[in-house]
Amino acid sequence: MTISSSMNAGVAGLNANANRLATISDNIANSSTYGYKRAQADFYSVVIHGDATTTYSAGGVRSTSMRLIDERGPLIGTANSTDLAVDGRGFMAVTTIDAVHRNDGNLPISLATTGSFRADADGVLRNATGQVLMGWPANPDGTLGNFPRDSMSSLEPVRLDQNQFVANPTTAMQLGANLPATATRAGAISGPQEMSVQYTGNLGTQETLHYTFTPNVPTAGASNEWNMVISDSASDGANIAEYTVTFDDSQTAAGTLATVTTVTGADYDPATGTIPLTVGGGTISLSIGKIGAAGGMTQLSKTFAPIGKSTNGTPVARLVSVEIDDNGLLHANYDQGFAKVIYQIPVVDVPNPNGLTALSNQTYRVSADSGPFYLWDSGDGPTGKLVGYSQEQSTTDVTSELTNLITTQRAYSSNVKVIQTVDEMLQETTNIKR
């Protein structure tokens, strides 16, 4: 029994060291694989309880192996803005290109810590192994909605419309005109002052807002009051709003807005200094300045100066590049010089990363051992942040693996020696019968 247990222990030692050799081989083979997490084999003794006072039975050894997914490799810089890596303990959500092409609504989600993503012929952002980046889509104006954090159902494959035009209509306009103070004095003969400001409509067309400022000339003194009428070319030239505007003539706030009274149209907001103009294609926030504050419309001197006109919006534009920021927001940059958010890429966290089920291509699946997932904003919570122009290197330390390879080889040879020795002893036992 004792000799047999020695044989069994030697065989168990061979199996355990062979298992460890397999993990070492895998680690060395993937030492240059981006995002690879090294595997580790651990040994545990097996005890067989016999009559400890007279004999000892060798139980041998058993081995277990696990992938150390919670270890993170160093990040290396690249030249591709959509080479992404998670700087922290979190993961990106990905699916397969085959599932995207099936278009049956079933998108299996797996997790990855890094990936070199590029748009394919359909604009889908994917890597060379067919892993597709998933994210929350932004609204057409670049704003983001509220998405569930404990479900992957709202995630969509990230798509870039590289060959399509996009509209960038005007949503805000700043007006900083100076009206002549002499025009509102008694006896003034100045007529209306006019100015026009172009803006971009919803379809990329150029439209015009026309402003007419008519002074209120009193019989005595100075009224400091103007009637402002706004017409819109997108509304067939119709008047869309009218306001009575007065200016301060005090020593401390001379020339700044004093009151803005609505005749027709939306009310002026004194807290922001803006008027929501309803134009032919929607609403434009017109900024004319706050009451008593510099930087808006003024009434000074005797010169009409339509200064400080500015609008956002541009003609139709085409996508030229995308970049991701520390908050996981994917920004699209267009050839007209503007950018907007098109997706938010969340960072996935699980309580036990080492409990994830390892799949091919450095991806992982949530399991009962990993615990439930939660979707965080990049840079928020315990997950870390997404980094563009980067990839995560393998966690394999080749020097350590080669050292382990030597010790494993020695241990394997020693177990072979044990088996040979037991075989010789059994042979001697057999010879006794002769």
In 337-380, the DSSP E strands lie at 339-344, 347-349, 357-359, 363-365, 374-376
6-to-51, 346, 433 alpha-carbon distances in Å: 16, 55, 22
- What DSSP designation does 159 have? B
Q: What is the DSSP string of 218-241?
A: -SSSB--EEEEEEEEGGGTTEEEE
Tell me, what DSSP letter sits at residue 421?
A: H
Residue 429's pLDDT is what? 79
Comparison of pLDDT for 113 and 313, the residue scoring more = 113
Angle between helices 398-432 and 2-29 (to 10 degrees): 160
Q: Residues 6 or more apart from 386 whose CB is under 8 A from it?
A: 84, 85, 86, 87, 92, 324, 326, 328, 345, 347, 378
Cβ partners under 8 Å of residue 378, min gap 6: 326, 327, 328, 345, 346, 347, 384, 385, 386
pLDDT for position 53: 65
Please provide the average confidence, as pLDDT, over all residues in the chain. Answer: 92
Report d(CA 341, CA 142) in Å as an integer.
5
Q: What percent of the chain has pLDDT over 70?
A: 98
Three-class SS string for 242-268?
A: EEEEEECCCCCCCCCEEEEEEEECCCC
Q: How confident is the model at residue 250 (pLDDT cuts 50, 70, 90)?
A: very high
- Full-model pTM: 0.78
Of residues 430 and 114, more confidence is placed in: 114
Domain 172-312 fold is Tick-borne Encephalitis virus Glycoprotein; domain 1 (2.60.98)
Domain boundaries, the chain: 2-68+395-432, 77-163+345-391, 172-312
- What average pLDDT does range 126-141 have in this prediction? 94
With a cut of 80, say whether residue 50 has pLDDT above it.
Answer: no
Question: Could you read off the pLDDT of 264-291 as tens digits, one per residue?
Answer: 999 999 999 999 999 988 899 999 999 9
- Ranking 43-52, 87-96, 279-288 by mean pLDDT, the lowest is 43-52
DSSP state of 24: H
Q: pLDDT tens, 216-226? A: 999 999 999 99
pLDDT, tens only, 92-119: 999 999 999 998 888 999 999 999 999 9
Q: pLDDT band at residue 333, thresholds of 50, 70 and 90?
A: very high
Is the dihedral angle over the CA atoms 92, 96, 101, 105 positive or is it negative? negative
For residue 315, what pLDDT band results from cuts at 50, 70 and 90? confident
